[in-house]
């Protein structure tokens, strides 16, 4: 393992009614749970062969059924910004030099994408993977930068725009990956490669 590089993976515990709640409004809780478990499959597969250390941060309790050989912890903080900040701070305190954090909502996640993020950090201070909804699916840092996690409009379409505008004022060098679509709503599902899997399972698909 490369002791200088760390991948943090934020994961929600797979509990009916607690994952993909916006998607569940269209296709129901059971189907939403199946979709989320499939996203976990893809995330685990994409990260399993990475030559970096990994820490899996669960939303509520550690689940030992996935990422069998990796470190697992529980997220800590009042909101997603504080939870990410705390995870990054712990990683830097442990001596890692470059840290990339991803969620578990991206059907197009790949080891190549994560490796590309680390390449950006060789000459940039941070890197973002823009999401089509205006947020981001990946953030990477080469040093601790608290302010990007504080007082931000989480889950709002202007999140990345506001974050980048603030970063510009601090003259921080930023790299950007390709914009991708994470799955939060039924519209996101339709645009993803998982929609065909969904259609095969249901005889009465939602039509928007």
Over residues 45-87, the pLDDT tens digits come to 999 999 999 999 999 999 999 999 999 999 999 999 999 999 9
The CATH fold assigned to 2-201 is Spore Coat Polysaccharide Biosynthesis Protein SpsA; Chain A (3.90.550)
Whether 145 contacts 128, CB under 8 Å:
no
Write down the domain spans for the chain.
Answer: 2-201
pLDDT above 90: residue 113 = yes
What would the mean pLDDT of 113-139 be, rounded to a whole number?
97
pTM of the shown model:
0.94
* Residue 208's pLDDT band (cuts 50, 70, 90): very low
């Amino acid at each position: 393992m490369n002791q200088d590089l760390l991948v943090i993976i934020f994961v929600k515990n797979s509990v009916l009614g607690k994952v993909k709640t916006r998607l569940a409004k269209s296709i129901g809780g059971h189907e939403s749970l199946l979709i989320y478990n499939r996203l976990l499959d893809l995330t685990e597969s994409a990260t399993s062969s990475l030559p970096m250390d990994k820490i899996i941060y669960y939303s509520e309790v550690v689940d030992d059924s996935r990422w069998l050989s990796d470190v697992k912890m529980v997220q800590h903080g009042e909101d997603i910004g504080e939870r990410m900040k705390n995870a990054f701070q712990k990683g830097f305190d442990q001596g890692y030099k470059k840290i990339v954090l991803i969620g578990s909502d991206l059907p197009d996640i790949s080891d190549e994408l994560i490796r590309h993020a680390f390449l950006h950090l060789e000459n940039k201070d941070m890197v973002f993977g823009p999401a089509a909804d205006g947020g981001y699916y990946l953030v990477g840092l080469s040093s601790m930068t608290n302010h990007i996690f504080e007082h931000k409009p989480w889950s709002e379409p202007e999140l990345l725009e506001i974050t980048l505008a603030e970063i510009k004022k601090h003259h921080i060098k930023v790299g950007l990956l390709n914009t991708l679509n994470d799955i939060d709503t039924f519209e996101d599902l339709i645009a993803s490669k998982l929609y065909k899997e969904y259609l095969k399972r249901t005889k009465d698909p939602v039509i928007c």
